């Protein structure tokens, strides 16, 4: 049974990785890491390898988010647009399990990108700019007040980014399922993500309690690495537990809506 279910995940993986665009995305990530490093080197700079890794990771994670949105927004909607959803569903599998296999393959894709980014930013910068793994770097170079080695700090930052990525996948997966059109799902997901964090910036200037529960205020957990609380509006700071609680509620709602809609929907594509 489990073995059979793994076959479904293999199928979804096959659909992601036989497409050229997936490899172009991964190629762009790796290429940019190399390019940024080489440009810095040719300009005669000699930055610290951790500073480089941290900056590149921060910038390139935005790209990872966009790629993840594109792939997950297409995941269900693309099957509706192409009409393949019909052949996919008329198999001895419940709709829930078919959907789950898609969701898992998307999480795996998001994790793969994070892993690629981690490995390449780590290795390329260590090779180009030398490796200094001492604990002092964390405070003196990266300016984070924690008694951990820089590698551990990087891992913590990546964990925060991965949490963010999981929310992104889940949200665009929901939009994909609800709207059934690939293009619309991609557009709407990106709009919500980019627009959402901008609008939230404005809203957080309002001194209203409901602002504290807006998703976008809690998607970036990195402030908690150096401080036990995070300021979200004038004079109000919240704890990691609060942020995780808000994220969990949104997560559960996204998942519930996605599965409910997918199970109930008449397929008339």
Partner 1 sequence: MDRPIPNGSVVQLKNVTKRIGKRTIIDNLSLDLPEAEVFGFLGPNGSGKTTTIRMMVGLMALTDGDVIIRGHSIRTEYEKAIRHVGAIVENPEMYKYMSGYQNLLHFSRMIPGITRQRIDEVVDLVGLKGRINDKVRTYSLGMRQRLGVAQAIMHKPSLLILDEPTNGLDPAGIRELRDYLRKLAKNEGITVFVSSHLLSEMELMCDRVAIIQAGKLIDVQSVRQAGTANDASAVSTVVFEVDQEEGALQLLQGRFGVKRSEGGLTIEADRDTVAAVNAELVQQGIKVYSIRVLSKTLEDQFLEITGGESVV
Selected range binding partner 1 among 60-68, 69-77, 129-137, 259-267, rule: CB under 8 A: 259-267
- CB of 61 within 8 A of CB of 73? no
At 232 the three-state DSSP class reads strand
CB of 27 to partner 1, least distance (A): 17
Binding string, residues 89-128; x marks residues near partner 1 by CB under 8 A? xxxxxx----------------------------------
Contact 156, 120 (CB under 8 A): no
Q: Can you tell me which of 34, 41, 82, 119 binds partner 1, judged by CB under 8 A?
A: 82
Nearest 10 degrees: Cα torsion 82, 85, 90, 94? 170
DSSP assignments along 26-73, one per residue = HHHHHHHHHHHHHHHHHTT----HHHHHHHHHHHHHHHHHHHHHHHHH
Q: How far is the CB of 66 from partner 1 (least distance, A)?
A: 21
CB contact at 8 A, 154 and 56 = no
Answer for the pair 94, 222: CB distance below 8 angstroms, yes or no: no
- Quick one: which of 42, 43, 44, 87 contacts partner 1 (CB under 8 A)? 87
- The distance of closest approach from Cβ of residue 91 to partner 1 in the complex, given in angstroms and rounded to an integer, is 4
CB proximity list for 69: less than 8 A, separation 6 or greater: 168, 172, 186, 189, 190, 193
Using the minimum distance from each CB to partner 1, give the nearer residue, 21 or 208.
21
Does 14 bind partner 1 (CB under 8 A)? Our answer is yes
Query: Does residue number 208 form part of the binding site for partner 1 (CB under 8 A)?
Result: no
Q: Is there binding between residue 46 and partner 1 (CB under 8 A)?
A: no
Site of interaction with partner 1 (CB under 8 A): 4, 7-8, 10-11, 14-15, 18-20, 82-84, 86-87, 89-94, 264, 266-268
């Amino acid at each position: 049974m489990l073995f059979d279910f793994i076959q479904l995940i293999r199928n979804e993986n096959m659909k992601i990785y036989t497409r050229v665009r997936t490899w172009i995305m991964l190629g762009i990530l790796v290429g940019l890491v190399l390019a940024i490093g080489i440009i810095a080197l040719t300009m005669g700079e000699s930055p610290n390898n951790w500073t480089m890794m941290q900056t590149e990771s921060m910038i390139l994670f935005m790209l990872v988010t966009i790629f993840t949105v594109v792939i997950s927004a297409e995941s269900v909607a693309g099957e509706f647009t192409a009409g393949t959803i019909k052949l996919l569903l008329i198999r001895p599998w419940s709709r829930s399990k078919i959907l789950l296999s898609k969701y898992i393959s998307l999480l795996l894709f998001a994790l793969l990108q994070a892993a690629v980014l981690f490995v390449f930013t780590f290795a390329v910068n260590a090779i180009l700019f030398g490796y200094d793994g001492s604990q002092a770097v964390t405070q003196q170079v990266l300016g984070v007040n924690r008694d951990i080695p820089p590698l551990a700090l990087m891992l913590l930052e990546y964990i925060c980014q991965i949490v963010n990525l999981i929310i992104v996948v889940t949200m665009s997966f929901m939009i994909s399922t609800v709207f059934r059109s690939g293009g619309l799902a991609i557009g709407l997901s990106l709009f919500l993500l980019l627009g959402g964090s901008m609008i939230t910036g404005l809203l957080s200037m309002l001194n209203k309690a409901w602002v504290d529960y807006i998703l976008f205020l809690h998607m970036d957990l990195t402030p908690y690495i150096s401080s036990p609380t995070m300021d979200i509006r004038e004079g109000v700071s919240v704890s990691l537990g609060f942020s995780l609680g808000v994220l969990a509620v949104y997560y559960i709602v996204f998942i519930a809506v996605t599965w409910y809609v997918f199970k109930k929907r008449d397929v008339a594509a």
